[in-house]
Amino acid sequence: MKKALLLALCAFFMLPLASHAATTQPVIIYTVQTSSSNDGSRLWVTLDVYKKTGNAQPVRLATVGKVGEYPTDFVLSPHHTAMAINLEKKIELLNIATKEIKTIATAKYQFSSMSFAADGQQLVVMDNVVGNAPFALRSFNLKDGNEKTIKSGLTTDFTKNAAYLFAAWRNANTILVTQGCGDAPCSGHPWYVDTTTGKISTAPTYAAPTPFADVVTSYTADGCNQFSGVTANGVKFLSVSTGKQIGSLYNKNWAIAVDRFSPDLKQVLFYNTAIAPSGTNPSDCPAYPKRYYFTMAFAGHVVTKISDLPALLRSWNADDTGATVQHKTIQGKETWQIFRGNTIILTSTKGLEVRGQFWQ
């Protein structure tokens, strides 16, 4: 009897522990700009890299960046165990569990973009600069340390006077390369590159890192957009493989922004924000416009309002938690805030950037 009672009590007290252990928590890897310096040629920054799990206090993982090493890009590995950091002339790999950081690649020219293969064992990097200059599309095997050049030549192999950026894996052996144009209109064409043979082939003009492309179809005046004065309120969706339209969204009274596609490619997640009348006083514009999230199913074009964004992303097994950064001047101070949906996660008067996120 006593033994049965003891077992029952153990089972009772173990239940909450088992439930807690199974709880999925959002993890954010982010950076804080701690300092900057100017050597007369450009501004250089130093960043602290942090990991924040759920509601726990952030943990500092590393410090990167100094004169001669500008941290331009951070890419999380598929299994969330490491982060590649592009310092332009070299790439460092940060072990998220141990905080160990080591150099894995040195640039021949200048690293512009990079991406992990699906197994996390290979990092493909575009090594080039703007203009009619040499480039090398290079692959680094993180397991055995071997390196190979997939393709090298001049950027005119693609389009004259353009820096091309690695965009996405299309399948196990093919990557999409697109033109890096900054704020200028892109006149170049996207290309496919076979990582085994190095063969370059033309990609459709609507090719995108995802199997679907979203193309803005209409804009409307927005008094709170201080840059262009307009905002998108219409978008159409194209199949990258066929170029056919599979759906569209339009709202006369609300701005529309596409967030992502569902893993099964049957839905799109998007959000609306309010549109301000022309002539609105900038002081009357909200620092962070509220976002109203929706999904649209391509079959039947059924639109559903989303009240719990993290729950939706978990159900989609999304590789991120929906965290975004917004930067505004509030009461005369530059302020950065990390949001998840409309919930504020972190606030700082130093530059914040989300560099990676996942569920664990």
Helices (H), the chain: 2-21, 309-315
Asked if residue 214 belongs to a domain, the reply is yes
CB 272 within 8 A of CB 327: no
- How many other C-beta atoms lie within 10 A of the C-beta of residue 85? 27
Question: Is residue 251 in a domain?
Answer: yes
Residue 51 pLDDT exceeds 60: yes
Q: With respect to residue 242, please indicate whether it lies within any of the assigned structural domains.
A: yes
CA-to-CA distance for 198 and 323, rounded, in angstroms?
36
Q: What is the mean pLDDT of residues 182-208?
A: 68
Distance CA 256, CA 269 (A): 11
Give pTM, 2 decimals.
Answer: 0.73
- Is 240 part of a structural domain of the chain? yes
Range of the domain at 295: 210-307
With 0-12 / 13-18 / 19 or more C-beta atoms within 10 angstroms meaning exposed / middle / buried, residue 301 is: exposed
Position 78 in a domain: no
Q: Let me know if residue 238 belongs to a domain.
A: yes
Segment 1-14, tens digit of pLDDT: 434 433 433 433 33
Chain-centroid distance of CA 279 in Å reads 33
Q: Is the model more confident about 32 or about 136? A: 32
pLDDT in tens, 308-346: 888 888 888 767 788 888 887 767 788 899 988 778 899
Q: Total domain count for the chain? A: 1
User: Residue 183 falls within a domain, yes or no?
Assistant: no
pLDDT class of 15 with cuts at 50, 70, 90: very low
The mean per-residue pLDDT over the stretch 46-51 comes to: 97
Question: What is the model's pLDDT at position 254?
Answer: 95
Is 94 part of a structural domain of the chain?
A: no
pLDDT tier at 65, thresholds 50, 70, 90:
very high
Q: What is the pLDDT of residues 131-182, one digit of tens each?
A: 556 778 888 999 888 899 888 776 555 554 455 666 677 777 888 777 655 4
Q: In the predicted model, what is the mean pLDDT of the chain?
A: 82
